[in-house]
Each structure stands twice: as C-alpha cells, then as structure tokens.
Chain A
C-alpha cells in the first residue's frame, strides 16, 4: 500500500493502519531492532513498540514523504532504550563499540546536562552536521544513525577504512567541542 494511504488510515484511526505498516515495513523494522539488540524476541517487542508509538503519534504527526524514516526512528529509539536498560544486551560488540565512540563526544559532567531535552540535542546535532559537506554528513549518519560498520561505510563511499575512521574521529571531536559551547563545561 502507498505510504500516503497508510498515513490516511492512521489519521482516520483505522487499526488496519498497523497491519498495513507491518506488511510493508515489518521485516525492515525487525531487522533494524535485531541489529541493535541481537535478540529476536526483544527485536519483536521493539517492533511492536514502534507500531504503538506510530499509532499514538500520527496524528498529530503526519510523516508524508518520510514514513519509512519515521518508523525506523521509532524502532531505533525503542531498541536503544532497551540497550540502555539492559546490561546483557549492551555487550554486543559492534554496538558496544558504537556507544564507546559516542562517549568520546560527551563533555564533562555538569548540572546543565540534565536540562537539555533530547529534542534540543537533536536540533544541535542537525545544526552541527549542516556545517559539513553532504558526504561527511552521510558518513557520520551511516555510522551513528544506520549503525553501519566502518568496513561497510568504506565500501559504500569507496574510501579507505582509515579515512572513514579519520572523518568520524574529527567529527566526534568537533561535536564534543560544539556541545561544550552549547553550555557544557568540561
């Protein structure tokens, strides 16, 4: 079914919206959640959480033109949340590596950090990425949005792995500085 029609089903509060979403995007959502949690049943729970979140958020949201990204965002949020809460799942090697890399962007602790809402933080990161050429934006997002490995990114862009690592290292470092400028004190 066409994405616009699926969104119309949500807007008219027709429960078949979820069935249609599952039919079209279920496998991809499960796979994305599995890639983060590496646990089939947890991945299915995340998928269901994503459907529920979609049901609860459309309306008011109307993700026309980006339903796939919207759903992926919801399922990733659910999966990241599970990892945050579950130490066992946190041990998955490549996701662990990802979180370690992200830790490098964290400035020193301050009382202000609790106050920064996730949405504001996303806005800051969007703004931060806009300072970079599209290619570098995409390298960053392939790693930290799509959770691609460095070899996968290297193949996609035709870069050496060293170059990918170097781009990511510099961007993480710059992001850390940017976050500090936004009110975090080391």
Chain B
C-alpha cells in the first residue's frame, strides 16, 4: 500500500460525510468579517514593518517595482472564486533549472475567465523581455525588476499570470531514502536529456541571491526583518512570540555578518528534509521539534530559537522565503527546501545577531 492507495481509499468514504464536508464551514458574515479584520490588521503590521525598512533605505524614494506589481494585483487576490493553490513549472535560469510557483490567482481556471482577463490587464504594464519559450508559452522577466524573483507567464491564448521563484532543482530529489544508486543515475540521465548542460548539484544561497535576486554583495541589502516563528500559536506560543518580537536590523556591520553566514549556506533544494536530519543528526532534529505526550510543542523552544526572515534589498525587492532555525542549525524555506547543517560558528554569529540564547 502507498499514499495513492490511501488517497484512493479516502475517496471511497461514506457519501453522507462527503456531502456534509461539501458545504461545511461557517457561512455567517460575522466570522468572515472577523477573519478579514485580522487579515487587514496583519497586513497593516507587515506593511508598517516593511515600510520601516524601506524608509531606512537611503537614496530610494520611488515605489519599488515589486510594490507596484503586488499592489496592482492585490485587489484581485481576494476576488471571489480565485484559486489559491500553487502550481509549479521548471524554468531554465542560467545553468540551473529553477522551480517557479504560480501565485494565488485564477490561473488557467476556465471557470473564471473574467478574473483571468483582469489579471492579464493588470499585468500588461509589467511584461518584460522573454527569457524562456516553451512551445507556445512564453516566460517574461518583469520590467524594471532586478533579477528573476517573479516571472510572468504568457499562455498561448495571451493570458498572463504571475509566478514566483521557489528553488533550484538539485540531485537531492533523487536521494530518497531506500532508493538504490541506480535510481539517482536514472534521474540524472532523465534530467540531462530534458535540460542538456544544466547543473543539478546543491547550491549556495550566494548563487541564489545573485541569479534570482540580482544581489551581488551585502551592500545591496537595506535591512533584515526577523520575526518570531508562527508555527506554534497556542497561548504559550503567542506569549513567547510577543516576547521575542519583530526586530529590524539595518546597520552595515550586522548586514555584512548576516550576509557572510547566509551566502555560505548550502541549499539542497526540494527533498526529504526530515529524512536528511534523521540520518545526519538525529539528536539535533529531535531536540528542535520535541513534543509532549499529546504532540504539543513542549517548551516553546521552537519559537525562542527560530526566526522568520525578510531581507529587503535597496531596490525594494524582498527575499522573504528564509527561516532560520538555530536549534537544528539550518535555514529552511516553505515546502521541503532547506540548507545543510550550518557550522557551529555560523550558528553562533546568527544567534548573536538575532539575540537567541
């Protein structure tokens, strides 16, 4: 039996339950309004935090390309019927193959052509040069944006959609626990056939910063915002989040120290991170995710020891995928993207910056 068999078995559960789930969830305006209020408040706080950095960035008075792009689309993101699920595509970027995720929106969703058209209309102003063409689909850079954090996809029917960089594909995808070496060789052969000359080794964040975000040195960074982990929102968790607080670091010395640590980190791309930790350093893994008998995160240590980072560049683009976990000694990102274990020295420097004891 595998995961598909199990999904198929769930597919066969009692029809009454399916019908109940089909319409489940509160429909009252009160709860929806409450949710919206929270969302608006959160958005304001985020804007305030990012705004602080943006104001601090010397010499940049104009609104950044990223801000204008996201602002143009923000009104559409909450459109009724828009789909939030992410799709991924592989795009050659330099000698790497990058994975891009379709951002929240009605992409390719025939059920909502009106919203599709609105997205396309809003994005017209940002369509830059074609960087990759695949049959009748074109991938455009975003006009005025340094690097390739975002790409605009133009479908054969002229519809535009916005995609965001996720990670470079590495050989780690073929390093599944229990799979023979032959599996990896077959994977490499298949990928080389699809993308001749492409590189699938692990990559440093320096390479990612340069290729994807156009960051050439620490001087391109305006500031680093470190927020507490949101992974544990129990009462205890929220109390610790409050104590940890969100902090902004914009002095050159700190930025440089951070840059040196993060750019040396080696990223494995998308792979089985739990398997990696268990086989590499089970003690650290267990410690960083310890739970009590009822599966609750036990001591709040994951909040004390983890920071969710937003790196704001002087051109206004943000790198907001990185999370630093001092307990395991890694950077990780959404999905299964994570760095190899950082050295004790790197962990010490980062802990010093973020005030993690």
A68 CA to B232 CA in the complex, in Å?
Answer: 38
Give chain A nearest CB distance to B14 CB in angstroms.
Answer: 4
Give chain B nearest CB distance to A106 CB in angstroms.
Answer: 7
Pairwise interchain contact A158-B21, C-beta atoms closer than 8 A: no
Q: Is the interface of A mostly helix, strand, loop or mixed?
A: helix
Interface flags for A3-37 (1: CB within 8 Å of B; 0: not) read 00000000000000000000000010001001100
Q: Contacts of A98 on B, CB cut-off 8 Å?
A: 3, 7
A129 CA to B13 CA in the complex, in Å?
Answer: 9
Pairwise interchain contact B4-A155, C-beta atoms closer than 8 A: no
Q: Contacts of A152 on B, CB cut-off 8 Å?
A: 84-85
Q: Contacts of B335 on A, CB cut-off 8 Å?
A: 93, 97
Q: Contacts of A137 on B, CB cut-off 8 Å?
A: 17, 20-21
A73 CA to B21 CA in the complex, in Å?
Answer: 14
A139 CA to B7 CA in the complex, in Å?
Answer: 15
Pairwise interchain contact B17-A80, C-beta atoms closer than 8 A: no
Q: Contacts of A77 on B, CB cut-off 8 Å?
A: 8, 11
A94 CA to B86 CA in the complex, in Å?
Answer: 7
Pairwise interchain contact B88-A91, C-beta atoms closer than 8 A: yes
A105 CA to B75 CA in the complex, in Å?
Answer: 39
Pairwise interchain contact B25-A138, C-beta atoms closer than 8 A: yes
- A146-B4 in contact given A69-B15, A163-B233 (Cβ < 8 Å): no
A63 CA to B281 CA in the complex, in Å?
Answer: 53
Pairwise interchain contact A99-B21, C-beta atoms closer than 8 A: no
- Identify which of A99, A149, A160, A170 contacts B7 (C-beta below 8 A): A99
- A169-B295 in contact given A80-B4, A137-B17, A158-B32 (Cβ < 8 Å): yes
A116 CA to B153 CA in the complex, in Å?
Answer: 45
Pairwise interchain contact A141-B17, C-beta atoms closer than 8 A: yes
A122 CA to B31 CA in the complex, in Å?
Answer: 34
Q: Contacts of A76 on B, CB cut-off 8 Å?
A: 11
A127 CA to B6 CA in the complex, in Å?
Answer: 15
Interface flags for B239-280 (1: CB within 8 Å of A; 0: not) read 000000000000000000000000000000000000000000
- A118-B24 in contact given A129-B17, A141-B17, A170-B295 (Cβ < 8 Å): no
Pairwise interchain contact B24-A102, C-beta atoms closer than 8 A: no
- Size category of the binding interface on chain A: 35 or more
- A122-B9 in contact given A27-B110, A100-B3, A158-B31 (Cβ < 8 Å): yes
- Most interface-central of B7, B34, B88, B101 (chain A CB within 10 A): B7
Pairwise interchain contact B12-A102, C-beta atoms closer than 8 A: no
Give chain A nearest CB distance to B149 CB in angstroms.
Answer: 18
- A145-B3 in contact given A92-B88, A158-B35 (Cβ < 8 Å): no
Judge if A151 is at the interface, Cβ distance under 8 Å.
yes
- Most interface-central of B8, B13, B32 (chain A CB within 10 A): B13
A24 CA to B261 CA in the complex, in Å?
Answer: 58
Give chain B nearest CB distance to A123 CB in angstroms.
Answer: 8
A151 CA to B18 CA in the complex, in Å?
Answer: 20
Give chain A nearest CB distance to B120 CB in angstroms.
Answer: 19
Please give 13 more A-B residue pairs, beta carbons under 8 A apart, in addition to A80-B8, A113-B1: A27-B111, A69-B19, A70-B15, A91-B88, A99-B7, A102-B4, A102-B7, A103-B2, A106-B3, A141-B18, A149-B84, A149-B85, A170-B295
29 contacts between A and B (CB under 8 A): A73-B12, A83-B4, A92-B87, A92-B88, A93-B101, A93-B335, A94-B85, A99-B7, A100-B3, A102-B7, A103-B3, A106-B2, A106-B3, A106-B6, A113-B1, A114-B1, A118-B8, A125-B10, A129-B17, A141-B10, A144-B7, A145-B18, A152-B85, A156-B24, A157-B25, A158-B31, A160-B233, A162-B231, A162-B232
